[in-house]
Amino acid sequence: MNDRFLKDLKSKDGAVNLNLSQGTIPGHPRTERYLSDLYGAFRDAQSYELALTLGNPLVYAVTPIEPASGDGQMHYGLGVLHPGKIGDEFYLTKGHLHARRSAAEVYVGLRGTGQMLLEDESSGESRMVALQENSVVYVPSHTAHRTVNTGAEPLVYLGIYPSNAGHDYAAIAAKNFRMVIVERAGVVVLEPR
């Protein structure tokens, strides 16, 4: 009998139930990221510092589910990214590369409207891909990824990845993404940082 089967037997119905209105998984702890955790992420440092003098809101939270680890196993996380802006930039996640660069990821949009910012590590080539309810975004290997909420309600999504992917935040903290996602005359556009 493997670990997963044992865990399933212990839970009521073997399924993990998502609360999409809260962006939570009841009974599972989540990691919260506040505005102060996003130092250096926004292009407009002045607007960021100003916003922090007014408060330190919760920007996003992730609830990780790690049923089993090892070769062939999968982990996933439910993300909830709140709506908001710093200057003309939308609220965003820190973003990362996977420590194991070959690990890809599948994002499934469940609620809200946003974009994924994808940047190929070797070429630096960037693109944005819409992430919203009922859309699936494939994050290829060797690709830095950041989620951006461009809408007025929470953006809720699942990220599903190999259990041994790991998260490398240091590479992003060192050089950040090359592009930013901002609003220009009511339109969501990708611009150089």
Where does this chain bind Zn ion (CB under 5 A)?
105
* Kind plus residue range of the DSSP H or E element containing 171: helix 170-175
Half-sphere exposure of 165 (CA within 13 A, CB side): 26
- Round to whole Å and give the CA distance between 29 and 173: 25
Q: Please identify, among the stretches 40-48, 123-131, 158-166, 174-182, the one whose residues bind ligand PAN according to the rule CB under 6 A.
A: 158-166
- Under 8 Å between Cβ of 156 and 79: yes
Q: Does 176 bind ligand PAN (CB under 6 A)?
A: no
Assigned token pair, 103: 């690990």
List the single partner that 95 binds among ligand PAN, Zn ion, none, CB under 5 to 8 Å by kind. Answer: ligand PAN
Nearer to ligand PAN, 43 or 75 (CB): 75
Strands 74-81 and 58-65, how do they pair? antiparallel
- Round to whole Å and give the CA distance between 125 and 117: 11
Q: Please identify, among the stretches 40-48, 65-73, 93-101, 177-185, the one whose residues bind ligand PAN according to the rule CB under 6 A.
A: 93-101
Nearer to Zn ion, 51 or 162 (CB): 162
Cβ neighbours, 10 Å, residue 76: 19
Q: Does 93 bind ligand PAN (CB under 6 A)?
A: yes
Nearer to ligand PAN, 96 or 111 (CB): 96
In this chain, which residue has its C-beta nearest to Zn ion? 105
- Under 8 Å between Cβ of 20 and 156: yes
List the single partner that 162 binds among ligand PAN, Zn ion, none, CB under 5 to 8 Å by kind. Answer: none
- Round to whole Å and give the CA distance between 115 and 134: 13
Q: Does 79 bind ligand PAN (CB under 6 A)?
A: yes
List the single partner that 176 binds among Zn ion, ligand PAN, none, CB under 5 to 8 Å by kind. Answer: none
* Kind plus residue range of the DSSP H or E element containing 9: helix 3-10
Q: Please identify, among the stretches 8-16, 92-100, 116-124, 177-185, the one whose residues bind ligand PAN according to the rule CB under 6 A.
A: 92-100
Note the residues at the interface with ligand PAN (CB under 6 A): 62, 77, 79, 93-96, 105, 145, 147, 159, 161, 165, 167
